[in-house]
Amino acid sequence: MKKIILFTLLIIGTEAVKAQFSVRLVVTDVATKKNDDIYLSGTFNNWNPKDENYKLKPFAGGRKSIVIKEVAIGNYAFKFTRGSFDKVECMADGRDISDRVLDVSSDISQEVTIAGWKDDYPERPKRYSASPQVKIIDTAFKIPQLNRTRRIWIYLPKGYATSAKNYPVLYMQDGQNLFNDQTAAFGEWGVDECLDTLEKKLDRECIVVGIDNGGDKRMSEYCPYDFSTKGPFVAPDTKGEGADYADFLVKNLKSYIDSKYRTKKGREFTYIAGSSMGGLISAYAILKYPEVFGAAGIFSPAFWIAPTIFSEAINAVTPHLPRFYFYAGGKESSSMVSDTEKMYDILTKKRNYEVERELNPMGEHKEKYWQQAFPHFYTWLMGKE
């Protein structure tokens, strides 16, 4: 299931806030299972595959449609499902389709066809692709701040078992997407294979700790502030639990890792990274705990959901030297590049901050592109650029 938010509302000035339009989508033909209920799922409802508010209604000629009123200007990503993501639409030969995209700047009436459903094309089980250097520390590591548990992964460099060295540590969000194709719904980052290669080339080694996201809690856990958004094409109200989650990383998980593994414990050897909502919480964590995290990899950050993060950055004061790496793709949401540039500009004005950015004009909001950007980030992180 696609958990991550890919596109959202873009507000352009006061007049854009006032502009509201009507969106009408009509499914004219469905390849199979024509009598099943069809749902609209996308960035506007946190990719809920069975949201009764977005269930299509019967329309003339055997078609099905949905009309959504008072839609603000913006780009929105969506797909059709039959109630779950194992029943999501696909190509006629079973291949995945890219997200459908609506660019709302006026009233829209659009007809579409559904070429196939994913459950008509059973996939082979994915292989376990994590390297021998990757282990699962715990399948139910306690997060006392949130009264939850989480699976935790760890990557140890090849030389770890035969050396007495201490290593820097990179803490990464969405652990299920980092090492193992079997647990990554939309492809893995390949962090372990990347580090195996770059450690030889750069002569730099690093421990990586991957923290699984909380499934339906992902959005709230990675959002540092409460937010309330209203309207048909926006995310639902969410209580931000990011402050508690960041507190867990610092006070519980890091303490455990430092006690069990040979780590370099100082801030200059402790890093954090993530993408989308994981990028947002990684930015927040280094801003809140600059004495703990020395560098952050912030990939396609979901700053749109928590604009307070910009004020957090403006007001940040630290005697330390925080290092920030930003990545954004040109084919993500309309505000992705501009939001990333805005944060970049804020931080570059601070004399003791080191800031790097990478903009990929062809980049989409997908693991594939974060995988491509990761080697550049790691090379920068190790001070080899």
pLDDT tens readout for residues 263-303: 999 999 999 999 999 999 999 999 999 999 999 999 999 99
pLDDT tens readout for residues 160-188: 999 999 999 999 999 999 999 989 888 89
Residues 250, 377 within the same domain: yes
Cα angle value 43/285/368 (rounded, 5°) = 45
The CATH code of the domain that includes 241 is 3.40.50.1820
Q: Taking Cα atoms as reference points, which of 190, 219, 365, 187 lies closest to residue 306?
A: 219
Residues 238, 102 within the same domain: no
Structure tokens given for 341: 């540039």
- Residues facing residue 21 across a β-bridge: 71
Report the chain (385 residues): mean pLDDT per 10 consecutive residues: 36 49 93 94 80 91 90 84 92 88 89 94 80 96 97 96 96 96 89 93 95 90 78 62 97 98 97 96 97 97 91 92 95 87 96 93 91 96 80
Number of domains in the chain: 2
Q: What whole-number distance in Å separates Cα of residue 182 and Cα of residue 129?
A: 7
The CATH code of the domain that includes 52 is 2.60.40.10
Asked, for residue 129, whether it belongs to a domain, the answer is no
What is the predicted pLDDT for the residue at 96?
87
Q: How far does the chain reach from its first CA to its final CA, in angstroms? A: 36
Residues 204, 70 within the same domain: no
Asked, for residue 23, whether it belongs to a domain, the answer is yes
Q: What whole-number distance in Å separates Cα of residue 1 and Cα of residue 81?
A: 11
Residues 71, 112 within the same domain: yes
Asked, for residue 265, whether it belongs to a domain, the answer is yes
Q: What is the DSSP string of 216-265?
A: GGHHHHT-SS-B---STTSPPPB---HHHHHHHIIIIIHHHHHHHS-B--
What is the predicted pLDDT for the residue at 323?
97
- In 3-state terms, what secondary structure has residue 129? coil
Show which of 74, 95, 120 is a domain's final residue.
120
Residues 342, 274 within the same domain: yes
What is the predicted pLDDT for the residue at 18?
53
Residues 116, 140 within the same domain: no
What is the predicted pLDDT for the residue at 73?
82
Residues 142, 19 within the same domain: no
Residues 36, 95 within the same domain: yes
For residue 288, the tally of other CB atoms under 10 A from its CB is: 18
Residues 171, 285 within the same domain: yes
Asked, for residue 227, whether it belongs to a domain, the answer is yes
What is the domain range of residue 250? 134-381
What is the value of pTM for the model shown? 0.76
What is the predicted pLDDT for the residue at 304?
86
Residues 231, 367 within the same domain: yes
Residues 260, 156 within the same domain: yes
Residues 107, 149 within the same domain: no
What is the predicted pLDDT for the residue at 384?
67
